[in-house]
Structure 1
Amino acid sequence: MSHTTIDQNQNVVRAVPILISFLIAGFIGLFSETALNMALGNLMQEFDVVSSTVQWITTGYLLTMGILIPVTALLIQWLTTRQLFITSVLFSIAGVVLSGMAPTFNVLLLGRIVQAIGTGLLIPLMFHTVLIIFPIEKRGLIMGAVGLVMMSAPAVGPAASGLIIEVLSWNWILWFILPFLLFTLVYGYIYVQNVTILTKPKIDVLSIILSTLGFGGIVYGFSVAGHQGWASLIVIAALAIGLSSLIVFAIRQFKIDNPMLDLRTLQYPMFTLALLSVMATFMIILSTMILYQF
């Protein structure tokens, strides 16, 4: 498949190399989301932590992504495509190295959070860039390829990591990822081009705070409910804060001139239905993996 487009500055955009860069980086980021699930038992023994603590390896990753992905919608309007792409891959590399060399569980968790920052920056940028560099008639095919990566990577993670820890230590799951990230960094540095127009809108700090509390509270509440119980005051408080913050956040997005997230797209029924379908599918996949991780 060969395809080039012309950006707003009349520069030739090599769409396929850009797509390849994002697909590789996106696959590794989402693969990492579940890659350590099969090693949680090993981590419990090595770091002498209980199951409710070791689950933060996955929970912390998802929590960080849940907070950062909405914020990235704003960063895309302030930073160039190349800047965000390189930054996301560098965060992923730093997180992998930090986690792989972690002497304690806290360092391992910190490395996972750093790695999740990279993935949280990359995923919205990937969708945004792909929709710009490909014409409408090709978007169905391309979004299918992107969707395949997003759905297959979390599913492949536990299977691949299970094979690795059969013959090697859990660290090698991360060392296996590192060469692909280094390749993506070099490849992306060469081929990823700036394809967006920087509008640099006014930053609505309140929207960022509401988004962080909303998405963070929901993810945290559901994450700790497994061992705290749904009747726990912590769980109820987290979900209440998260839900109320999201409601206020949504109302605010409709009232301000430059919303952090343009929620008016939810007025289209087919888009909303597709969004709910993807959410349900991901919830089923990730929850099933957690059930079989021990």
Structure 2
Amino acid sequence: MTQTEEKMSTQSKLILFILILGNFLCLISETVMNVALPSIISDFHIRTSSAQWLTTGYMLVIGISVPVSAFLIQRFTLRQLFVTAMSFYLIGSFIGFITPWFSLLFVGRMIQALGTGIILPLVMSTMLTLVPVSKRGTVMGIFSVAILFAPAIGPVLSGLIIQYYSWQIIFLGLLIAAALIFLFALFKLSNVSETSRPTIHIPSVILSTIGFGGVVYGFSAAGEETGWSNPIVWLTLIIGVIALALFVRQQSKLNSPMINMKPFRSSVFSRSIFLMFLIMMIQFSMMLILPLYFQTAAGLSPLQTGFLMLPGGVTLALTAMVGGRLFDKIGFKPLLLTGLVLLTIILSLFTTISSGTSTRTAAILYAAFTIGVGLSIGPVMTLALNQVPKPLHAHGSAISNTINQVSGAIGPALYTSIMTMASQHFIQQSNETNKTLLQIKSMTSGVHTVYYVAIAFAVVSFLLALTLKKKDQQLETQ
């Protein structure tokens, strides 16, 4: 490859800038409602389980729509898809801002999610097309900021808004940001991908919808009050897993599959994708459990909790960008192993936290933890996608984004259920008579158990990373 070919054009940089902006906004929406739920419950006089569907349903729609993205990316132009996706997001945000009814608010969130489900894989697929191989680490580092920093900043922004205004202002802010990105794309976004006329296989769409929908819903429902004792959880998970197995089997037999499974023929791709899944699970152990613990045990407000997590979010963004540049210079393995060792050390320190731990100490530990995540997730994601040949970019992107969304559903449910079970076990074994103190002690025990499980995932991740070789960084084998 010549030096000229290694350079990105100004137009390519502009296209990626627009797409990453849209991606960042969509990912903020995944967590921005969490802090607002108590206000929504109060305003609409609904149950907590109903309000949680604003987040669970959002993840569910994304989980269903992402697998179809490979077909859409091949069938329609970049401009058509992005403008359409942002239109969905605009409409959903507008409905959320003006609605007087919870049912309409829910519809608005689902329309938002539909736009998000199109944009997420579109960005990654376009990036693989535009970015030279030698620059992918750097660009993936920037992209990792959107993937990891946006969900972390969502609760902070919504906490600030709820503190001084109302939850409707959250949707107004999303609406304004989406309108600006939409107009920017309308005038500046150009097409770079080639379209074809793939046929849509309806049975595949049905199986993927049931499969991914069942898995995402099952794990999301497991994180609610009834947890794993709810038979609906197990029923939807079993149905989802069976449908996914049939979907994968069907895709391997089709001439024009909805998601081509050929990338999994690469052992490096398969191991990297699984490693990415494990690291994202570890990240969710912090993003969910840490703020939950400090709000319950230490009595922090949602806004204070948001600021507790903010230094880590900023550190994560900076580390991901630096890690991306280092990937292009020194390769993935030193970054990945260093990041995983740091993750394990910090998780070990978190097994000693208590209600007496200062917010400053927790914020510093979390910031150190995000350095490990930033050094790990970008390199392993780039390594996986580098194994995908150009004709399969859309499919590799769909696989990667599907794994991200599934980890987003499994992570919170798994850790919440572990914390709940460990807390209940502590209560059964304890002689503590003070109910308030018992609640704090039992939750502390549950949180410690969660982090021990996360340490186990980190150790497995480290051992798996050792099996990857430096030569595996070579790219795009046909």
TM-score (ref. length: structure 2):
0.57
CA offset at residue 116 of structure 1?
Answer: 0.4
What residue in structure 2 maps to residue 220 of structure 1? 217
2:283 equivalent to 1:280: no
1:103 maps to 2:100: yes
Offset, 1:24: 0.8
1:186 is aligned to 183
Deviates more, 1:211-220 or 1:170-179: 170-179
Segment drifting more, 170-179 vs 117-126 = 170-179
Q: Which amino acid aligns with 1:130?
A: M
Q: Tell me, yes or no, if structure 1 residue 158 matches structure 2 residue 189.
A: no
User: Any idea what the Cα deviations from partners look like across 1:165-213, whole Å, max 9, x if unmatched?
Assistant: 1111111111112222111111111222211211211211111111000
1:239 and 2:237 matched: yes
Deviates more, 1:250-259 or 1:231-240: 231-240
Deviations 1:80-105 (A, max 9, x none): 11000000101111111101112111
The one-letter amino acid of 1:247's match is A
Deviation at 1:284, TM superposition (A): 4.4
The answer to whether residue 8 in structure 2 is matched with residue 3 in structure 1 is yes
Corresponding residue SS for 2:74 = coil
Structure ID, larger Rg = 2
Unaligned stretches of 5+ residues in structure 1: 5-12
SS of residue in 2 equivalent to 1:200: coil
* Cα displacement (A) at 1:230: 1.7
> Which one-letter code corresponds to 1:3 in the other structure?
M
The Cα shift of 1:281 comes to 3.8
Equivalent in the alignment of 1:258: 256
CA distance in 2, matches of 1:40, 1:285: 22
1:116 aligns with 2:113: yes
Residues 1:197 and 2:194 are matched in the alignment: yes
Counterpart CA distance in 1 for 2:281 and 2:37 is 20
2:49 counterpart (52, 56, 80): 52
User: Paired residue for 2:391?
Assistant: none
* 8 A contact 1:30–1:153 mirrored in 2: yes
CA contact (8 A) 1:155 1:285 kept: no
CA distance in 2, matches of 1:252, 1:265: 16
* Contact 1:37/1:290 (8 A) holds in 2: no
What is the match of residue 172 of structure 2?
A: 175
Contact 2:8–2:130, Cα closer than 8 Å, also in 1: no
1:146 paired to 2:151: no
How far apart, in 2, do the equivalents of 1:102 and 1:288 lie?
33
Contact 1:96 1:115 in 2 (8 A): yes
Q: Is the 8 A contact 1:221 1:236 kept in 2?
A: yes
CA drift of 1:287 comes to 6.1
Residue ranges of structure 2 left out of the alignment (5+ in a row): 1-6, 296-478
Identity %: 37
Q: Separation in 1 of the partners of 2:102 and 2:257?
A: 39
Q: Residue 210 of structure 2 contacts residue 240 of structure 2 at CA under 8 Å; is this kept in 1?
A: yes
The separation in 2 between residues aligned to 1:270 and 1:100, in whole angstroms, is 45
Q: Relative to structure 1, is the Cα distance of residues 41 and 107 closer, same or farther in structure 2, using a 3 angstrom cutoff?
A: same
Aligned partner of 2:246: which letter?
Answer: V
> Which of 124, 134, 137 matches 1:137?
134
Larger relative contact order (C-alpha < 8 A, sep ≥ 6)?
Answer: 1
CA distance in 1, matches of 2:226, 2:217: 11
How many angstroms apart in 2 are the aligned matches of 1:33 and 1:286? 13
Match 2:228 to one of 203, 206, 230: 230
Describe the SS at the equivalent of 2:152.
Answer: helix
What do you get for the CA RMSD once the two structures are aligned? 1.7
**TM-score normalised per structure 1:** 0.92
